[in-house]
Amino acid sequence: MSQPHRKLTGRVVIATHNAGKLREMRELLAPYGIEAVSAGELGLGEPDETGDTFIANAQIKAEAAAQAARLPAFADDSGLCVDALGGDPGLYSARWAREAGDFPAAMANVHELMHAKGAISGAQRRAHFVSALAIAWPDGHLETFEGKVFGAIVWPPRGDLGFGYDPFFQPDGHARTFGEMSAQEKHGIPADGSQALSHRARAFQSLAKACLG
> What is the number of alpha carbons within 13 Å of residue 14 lying toward its C-beta?
22
**pLDDT confidence of residue 146:** 97
Distance, in Å, from the CA atom of 34 to the CA atom of 213, rounded to the nearest integer, reads 12
pLDDT digits (tens, 9 = 90+) for 51-69: 999 999 999 999 999 999 9
Q: Is 77 a catalytic residue?
A: yes
Asked if 133 and 145 count as a contact pair (C-beta separation under 8 A), the reply is yes
pLDDT band at 211 (very low <50, low <70, confident <90, very high): very high
DSSP code string of 131-169? EEEEEE-TTS-EEEEEEEEEEEE-SS---SSSSTTGGGE
Q: How far apart are CA 106 and CA 201, in angstroms?
A: 24
Please report the pLDDT score of residue 17 as a whole number.
84
In the set 48, 52, 76, 77, the catalytic residue is 77
What is the model's pLDDT at position 2?
A: 55
Domains in the chain, CATH or no CATH each: 11-211 (3.90.950.10)
The percent of residues in the chain predicted with pLDDT above 70, rounded, is 98
Confidence of residue 1 (pLDDT cuts 50, 70, 90): very low
Amino acid identity at 181: M
Instruction: Tell whether the model's pLDDT for residue 191 goes beyond 80.
Output: no
Percent of the chain past pLDDT 90, that is, above it, reads: 77
82-132: pLDDT as tens digits? 999 999 999 999 999 999 999 999 999 999 999 999 999 889 999 999 999
Task: Work out whether strand 142-153 and strand 126-136 pair parallel, antiparallel, or are unpaired.
Answer: antiparallel
Rounded to whole angstroms, the maximal C-alpha distance in the chain is 51
For 162-178, write each residue's pLDDT tens digit.
889 999 999 999 999 99
